[in-house]
């Protein structure tokens, strides 16, 4: 194995990332809202030794046609189970794979996010993460009635008004992550004494108010959940442009990017590093993963034919913010190595299966063994926590004194 290990993650959403995936003969749309469906997917990802599974979520119904409100289509999967709860009920049924639910910052209180994800980290014994997401949709804002968001259409992207609205959402997201991280630190290690003889369950000196006051939040703390096993669960974010790169640089440990080909990889990595410098990031650099929508089969032609059949059912070709790849496991392994060769700072890939479970099984049982044969991917999990898997140390609480950290 190389000194720079390849990371592979999977993005789970509905019946798959093709909008017609639920109509594939091997799909099981009747099971989409059952715990067994999601458990089987996460267990398949663990069988493939993947680093983690992200679970998509949002505060409104899925929409193909609008940035700021839902569409009225009935030929697409609509509705989801809650991503945090999916992660929670799959945690005891898995042992090594990371569990990274999507949680939207725009309408969710940081205190609730911190509590839920700390609980997930305890429940999974140190395998929790958080995919940070913002919301620009007016229909989602209407669910809560606490704020009004401007309607944003694709043709208005790049205008000063839209840029200002998006900048506000990103600033709010950065503050939300900061509050959550402080709450995770508000219980120092060793806060729980549990000493019946002295009648002391807690060391009160190790429990801290976070006292965050900013433009969007005022949070006193402390958390109600003891410090997570990882100290700080892994924070990840998807980014396509400078403002999002800077949010990731301020707040995340891992960033998902969307190059279209190998030639774009070095430039995107350079943009990520420039964003880190612009925000004055300290500590470990962002781990950079590239997103790919994948259709995989032993026979590469069958993978391409599957996408074509689904395109016909959808009455349009598959479109995505990420590159779409259809082929054999060997061809996908070639692409993985070609893109990594383009930049040694590309740490790996988040794969979005076009059809679930078909393409996830092909990743676990085809792509991973092919990469293992090439000595390019691990043959077993070699760390316990998700942070460790990315070479990130378990941080001390920011509220601990130097003497306490040394102990």
- The CATH number assigned to the domain holding 88 equals 3.20.20.30
314 falls within a domain: yes
pLDDT tops 50 at residue 1: no
57 is in an annotated binding site: yes
Do residues 120 and 86 make contact, with C-beta atoms less than 8 angstroms apart?
Answer: no
Could you give the CA distance from residue 213 to residue 220 in angstroms, rounded to a whole number? 8
In this structure, the dihedral spanned by the alpha carbons of residues 335, 336, 337 and 340, taken in order and rounded to 10 degrees, is 120
Backbone angles phi and psi of 220, in degrees to 5: -90, -45
Give the model's pLDDT for residue 156. 63
Give the model's pLDDT for residue 137. 86
197 falls within a domain: no
How much is the mean pLDDT over the chain?
94
CB atoms under 10 Å from CB of 396, counted, come to: 16
211 falls within a domain: no
Helix ranges restricted to H, 48-109: 83-90
Could you give the CA distance from residue 272 to residue 82 in angstroms, rounded to a whole number? 30
Cis peptide before 16 (omega within 30 of 0): no
Q: Quick one: CA dihedral 130, 102, 277, 7, positive or negative?
A: positive
394 falls within a domain: yes
Could you tell me what percent of the chain has a pLDDT over 70?
95
Give which of 46, 45, 56, 49 is closest to 15, Cα–Cα: 56
182 falls within a domain: no
328 falls within a domain: yes
Do residues 355 and 16 make contact, with C-beta atoms less than 8 angstroms apart?
Answer: yes
Q: Give the tokens for residue 353.
A: 């299966």
Tell me the pTM.
0.95
Greater confidence (102 vs 3) lies with 102
Q: How many domains does the chain have?
A: 1
Across the range 324-353, mean pLDDT stands at 98
| pLDDT tens per residue across span 107-160 | 999 999 999 999 999 999 999 999 999 988 888 888 888 887 777 766 666 777
CB atoms under 10 Å from CB of 358, counted, come to: 22
Q: How far is CA 330 from the centre of its chain?
A: 26
Range with lowest mean pLDDT among 51-65, 147-161, 173-187: 147-161
Could you give the CA distance from residue 237 to residue 243 in angstroms, rounded to a whole number? 12
Backbone angles phi and psi of 122, in degrees to 5: -65, -45
Backbone angles phi and psi of 101, in degrees to 5: -75, 150
Across the range 250-261, mean pLDDT stands at 98
318 falls within a domain: yes
In terms of residue numbers, what domain contains 366?
A: 7-134+233-406
Give the model's pLDDT for residue 169. 92
Backbone angles phi and psi of 295, in degrees to 5: -120, 120
Across the range 396-402, mean pLDDT stands at 88
192 falls within a domain: no
Greater confidence (20 vs 67) lies with 20
| pLDDT tens per residue across span 183-229 | 999 999 999 999 999 999 999 999 999 999 999 999 999 999 999 99
282 is in an annotated binding site: no
């Amino acid at each position: 194995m190389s000194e720079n290990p390849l990371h592979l993650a999977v993005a789970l959403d509905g019946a798959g990332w093709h909008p017609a995936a639920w109509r594939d003969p091997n799909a099981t749309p009747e099971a989409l809202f059952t715990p067994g469906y999601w458990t089987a997917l996460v267990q398949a990802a663990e069988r493939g030794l993947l680093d983690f599974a992200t679970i998509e979520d949002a505060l409104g119904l899925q929409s193909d046609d609008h940035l700021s409100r839902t569409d009225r289509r009935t030929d697409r999967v609509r509705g989801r189970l809650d991503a945090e709860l999916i992660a929670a009920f799959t945690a005891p049924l898995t042992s090594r794979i990371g569990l990274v639910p999507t949680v939207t910052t725009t309408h969710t209180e940081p205190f609730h996010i911190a509590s839920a994800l700390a609980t997930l980290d305890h429940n999974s014994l140190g395998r929790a993460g958080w995919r940070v997401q913002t919301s620009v949709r007016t229909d989602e804002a209407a669910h809560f009635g606490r704020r009004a968001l401007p309607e944003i259409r694709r043709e208005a992207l790049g205008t000063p008004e839209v840029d200002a609205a998006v900048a506000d959402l990103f600033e709010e997201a950065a503050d939300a992550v900061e509050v959550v991280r402080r709450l995770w630190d508000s219980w120092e290690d060793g806060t729980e004494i549990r000493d019946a003889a002295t009648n002391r369950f807690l060391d009160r000196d190790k429990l801290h108010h976070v006292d965050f006051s900013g433009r969007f939040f005022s949070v006193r703390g402390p958390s109600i959940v003891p410090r997570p096993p990882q100290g700080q669960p892994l924070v990840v974010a998807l980014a396509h442009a400078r403002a999002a790169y800077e949010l990731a640089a301020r707040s995340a440990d891992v960033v998902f990017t969307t190059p279209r080909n190998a030639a774009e990889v070095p430039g995107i990595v350079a943009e990520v590093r420039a964003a880190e410098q612009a925000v004055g990031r300290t500590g470990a650099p962002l781990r950079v993963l590239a997103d790919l929508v994948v259709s995989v089969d032993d026979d590469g032609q069958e993978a391409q034919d599957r996408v074509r059949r689904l395109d016909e059912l959808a009455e349009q070709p598959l479109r995505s913010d990420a590159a779409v790849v259809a082929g054999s496991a060997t061809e996908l392994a070639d692409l993985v190595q070609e893109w990594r060769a383009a930049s040694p700072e590309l740490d790996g890939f988040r794969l979005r299966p076009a059809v679930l479970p078909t393409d996830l099984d092909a990743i676990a049982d085809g792509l991973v063994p092919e990469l293992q044969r090439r000595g390019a991917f691990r043959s077993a999990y070699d760390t316990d926590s998700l942070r460790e898997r990315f070479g990130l140390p378990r941080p001390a609480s920011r509220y601990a004194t130097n003497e306490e950290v040394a102990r």
